[in-house]
Amino acid sequence: MDFGTIKNVGIAVVNSIVEERNKNGEFEDFTSFCERIKDAGVNKKCVESLIKAGAFDSFGKTRATLLASFENILDTINNEARNKIENQVSMFDIMEETKEIPKYTYIEKKEMDEKELLSLEKEMLGLYISGHPLDKIRTQIEKISNFTTLDISKMNEELEQIGKTIDFKDGQTVRYVGIINKVNKKFTKNNKTMAFLNVEDFYGSAEIIVFDSVYNLTNYILVEENIVLIEGRISIREDEPVKLVASKITEFSEDLNVVNKEENTQKLNNKIKTLSINITRLEENRKEKLRGAIKFFSGDRVNVKLEIVDKDSVKPCGAIYMTDKILEIFEKIVDKENINLV
């Protein structure tokens, strides 16, 4: 692992850590590391990122334990350094010599599940280190899919060679399975919503184009870290990388089977709530932002109905698929006190 690529770390910090290790030997454990790098410009955010990336896994403590304990350990080290007077022996020092007192306390935690660990690695490094979220369903993927990013790489290489015959054709229908890395939503000229997905399999990532007709049916599963089966056609354009245009997107459930569309729709319908938004005291510019947000997040798949309260009138205003993040967006637009979700 190249520690310099870890988020919030950087080359300067890595050089300081390596210099300390080369000068005074290997770090014995996590607290040894913290003690020895306290003057090397390694702050709490940096240590947290190193924990999340798995840099201390060999020290025998779970990442969950270290994440729960590292701040107290660093605070203890820093306080001790500030309070210690050079060449002065205190009563506490004498007591330490005669009786072993544990300097640091770990808050022992059971390790996070594999999905959480991999998610942290992806967040810190931009890639998975200790495994891949698709590993457990490799057999199912190989049975269902007939297209991978290896095929895309091969096609891109062959397209650069004039006259080279490629195995796949423009418009050919394929099945591709991967985990969603990024969702980029756009408005079309007709004011409809579409999306560009970055979806990763074992070998790399592919760009998936999701037009409004498919987006409206599947927006509720187009979420980062969801594993999806994409059925679509290959798009080959001159001077552009090969892409996939989705015609159908379905989600893998925990039991490794594709979720039944009708069954999932029924589950969502059973969870419908109502979001009441009071606009009585809102300025016109905030009302305009609210209208834009409702339009942006609307779709065929919903779990929350919307109603607008204006003075004494209450009017229905469609429905959306609500998440915690989307709720925060609405709260910022109209203020939390003007929202009621029941």
Say which DSSP state 259 is in. P
Q: What is the length of the chain?
A: 342
- Tokens 């579409």 label which residue? 194
The answer to whether 282 and 334 have CB atoms below 8 angstroms apart is yes
In this predicted structure, the answer to whether residue 34 has a pLDDT above a threshold of 80 is yes
Q: Report d(CA 259, CA 254) in Å as an integer.
A: 9
Most confident region among 120-124, 125-129, 158-162, 319-323 by mean pLDDT: 120-124
Instruction: Record the pTM.
Output: 0.58
Give the list of residues 6+ apart from residue 254 with CB closer than 8 angstroms, or none.
Answer: none
pLDDT at 147 over 90: yes
Whether the predicted pLDDT of 270 surpasses 60 = no
The beta-strand segments (E) located in 110-226 are 173-187, 193-200, 205-210
Segment 203-215, tens digit of pLDDT: 889 999 999 889 8
Strand-pairing partners, residue 48, are none
Model pLDDT, residue 67:
94
Q: Is the alpha carbon torsion for 6, 10, 11, 16 positive or negative?
A: negative
Residue 313 to residues 36, 157, 280, 287, 338: CA-CA distances in angstroms? Answer: 66, 62, 10, 16, 15
Across 7-16, 141-150, 297-306, the highest mean pLDDT is recorded for 141-150
Identify the residue with better confidence: 255 or 202. Answer: 202
**pLDDT for 261:** 45
Three-state DSSP class for residue 245: strand
Coil/strand/helix, residue 36: helix
pLDDT score of 285 more than 70: yes
| Across 191-197, average pLDDT | 89
Amino acid occupying residue 329: I
Gap between the Cα atoms of 104 and 265, Å rounded: 51
Selected residue with higher pLDDT from 318 and 288: 288
Query: 194, 211 in Cβ contact below 8 A?
Result: yes
Q: Would you give the end-to-end CA distance of the chain in angstroms? A: 47
Model pLDDT, residue 157:
84
Determine the Cα–Cα distance for residues 340 and 175; give it in Å rounded to an integer: 42
The distance from CA 202 to its chain's CA centroid, rounded to whole angstroms, is 17
Q: Which residues contact 288 (CB under 8 A, 6 or more apart)?
A: none
Average pLDDT, stretch 62-88? 80
pLDDT band at 128 (very low <50, low <70, confident <90, very high): confident
pLDDT at 161: 73
**Average predicted confidence (pLDDT) for the chain:** 82
